[in-house]
Amino acid sequence: MTYRGVMVIGEQRGGVLHPVTYELLARGRVLADKLSEELSCVILGHEMEQFAEGMIQRGADVVYVVDDPALKHFLPRPYATALTRLAKEAKPEIVLSAATTQGRTIMPLIAAKLDTGLTADCTGLDIDPLDRSLLQTRPAIGGNVMATIKTPTSRPQMATVRPKSAKPLPADEGRQGRVVLKTYEANIFSTCEELVEFVKDTTQDVNVQDADIVVCGGKGLKTRDNFHMIEELASLLGAAVGATRDIVDLGWVGYPHQIGLSGKTVSPKLYIAIGLSGSVQHLAGMQTSETIVAINKDEDAQIFQVADFGIVGDLFDVVPELIEKLREKKNGKCVREG
């Protein structure tokens, strides 16, 4: 049985294509080019064909649109059943999904149905030039080592990929591709599952993975009361609040704010790191940020190795002054240097 090509599973939220789809297409395009194969993208939902052209512009050669009212909202069993059917028909050599709630839920189901392997939460993907195998790199042993995994015999090779670990390709309006509309008999979507309601995370006004600016605090803040400086600075900047694992373990903020190998991966336009050393585990979650500003009194802190701008100083002196300047600017006052 011949397996060819790379397939990525797109995501939609509320009938709108999620940006993580474009990140997956960028990942898949690199792998497909190395294999000299086609890159396909599949999107499940209702009335999603309108987004197919955009996926072609971002790297897909083929877009499969599985359309049915029963797929309007994400439910594990109907989604997994439809994707398994499509995988059996298209026979991709590689299948990728984002390591989101959706991807982490359905990919194990699909892998079990296809009797193949799955590597979860990858931060790196490549092709072995010797045997065309997918090299799947992910953190292991609490993030202390990076393991590279292969699926030597089973196909397709399957992996989930961390969101924000790759940048989308720019849209190319001249790219050509084809759109394939897939329909299946309605009974395959029957399920005992029911979407009751969607509960929004109210612990953060701005989601760390979607924010253009992230202000992240570490153990250098010493107490929960001091962490309020991070929250105030983020509020003044219209930014999301991030935290290291130590801060989350202490209970100062909830897990949705955690950045690093065991938390979220972010890639904002501006990342402000305050009072954190920059462990390997934390750097893996934010080092693709466009501009990184670090504030730490230890001039040898690892965070300065990736920072674009570094302030060596006591955060308890620097941050309050920064907050005051931003308050003055917000209030329309003239801010003088010195």
CATH number, residue 267? 3.40.50.1220
For residues 122 and 269, state if they share a domain.
Answer: no
Chosen domain end from 189, 204, 239: 189
- Identify whether 84 is part of a domain: yes
**pLDDT score for 53:** 95
- Identify whether 336 is part of a domain: no
**pLDDT score for 335:** 47
For residues 93 and 181, state if they share a domain.
Answer: yes
Distance between CA atoms of residues 92 and 110, nearest Å: 13
For residues 283 and 164, state if they share a domain.
Answer: no
- Count of structural domains, the chain: 2
- Identify whether 220 is part of a domain: yes
User: Over 70: is that where the pLDDT of 148 sits?
Assistant: yes
For residues 152 and 115, state if they share a domain.
Answer: yes
**pLDDT score for 201:** 66
**pLDDT score for 142:** 57
pLDDT (tens digit per residue) in 292-314 = 999 999 999 999 999 999 999 99
DSSP code, position 167: P
Percent of the chain clearing pLDDT 70 (strictly above): 95
Distance between CA atoms of residues 19 and 295, nearest Å: 31
Buried b / exposed e over 130-157, threshold 16 CB at 10 Å, is eeebbbbbbbeeebeeeeebebeeebbb
For residues 47 and 171, state if they share a domain.
Answer: yes
For residues 19 and 138, state if they share a domain.
Answer: yes
Chosen domain end from 189, 223, 255: 189
For residues 251 and 179, state if they share a domain.
Answer: no
68: Cα within 13 Å, side-chain hemisphere: 17
- Identify whether 72 is part of a domain: yes
- Identify whether 310 is part of a domain: yes
**pLDDT score for 334:** 52
User: Over 90: is that where the pLDDT of 186 sits?
Assistant: no
Distance between CA atoms of residues 109 and 163, nearest Å: 20
For residues 121 and 51, state if they share a domain.
Answer: yes
Distance between CA atoms of residues 52 and 42, nearest Å: 9
User: Over 50: is that where the pLDDT of 29 sits?
Assistant: yes
CB 168 within 8 A of CB 19: yes
Across 177-192, average pLDDT: 85
User: Over 90: is that where the pLDDT of 338 sits?
Assistant: no
**pLDDT score for 337:** 47
The answer to pTM > 0.85 is no
- Identify whether 200 is part of a domain: no
User: Over 90: is that where the pLDDT of 289 sits?
Assistant: no
Of 119, 116, 10, nearest to 59 (Cα)?
10
Distance between CA atoms of residues 159 and 146, nearest Å: 15
More confident residue, 102 or 336: 102
- Res. 267 pLDDT band, cuts 50 70 90: confident
For residues 225 and 104, state if they share a domain.
Answer: no
For residues 221 and 179, state if they share a domain.
Answer: no
For residues 161 and 83, state if they share a domain.
Answer: yes
**pLDDT score for 23:** 93
- Identify whether 81 is part of a domain: yes
Distance between CA atoms of residues 114 and 92, nearest Å: 12
- Res. 323 pLDDT band, cuts 50 70 90: very high
Distance between CA atoms of residues 35 and 231, nearest Å: 47
Which domain range does residue 82 map to? 6-189
Report the CATH number that the domain containing residue 149 is assigned in CATH.
3.40.50.620
| Stretch among 52-66, 186-200, 218-232 having the lowest mean pLDDT | 186-200
| Stretch among 159-168, 196-205, 256-265 having the lowest mean pLDDT | 196-205
Distance between CA atoms of residues 12 and 74, nearest Å: 9
CB 221 within 8 A of CB 246: no
**pLDDT score for 231:** 93
For residues 134 and 170, state if they share a domain.
Answer: yes
Q: Per the structure block, which two tokens stand in for 243?
A: 């935290």
CB 86 within 8 A of CB 63: no
**pLDDT score for 266:** 86
DSSP code, position 271: E
Cis preceding-peptide flag for 156 (omega within 30 of 0): yes
Strand pairing class (118-122; 94-98): unpaired
- Identify whether 208 is part of a domain: no
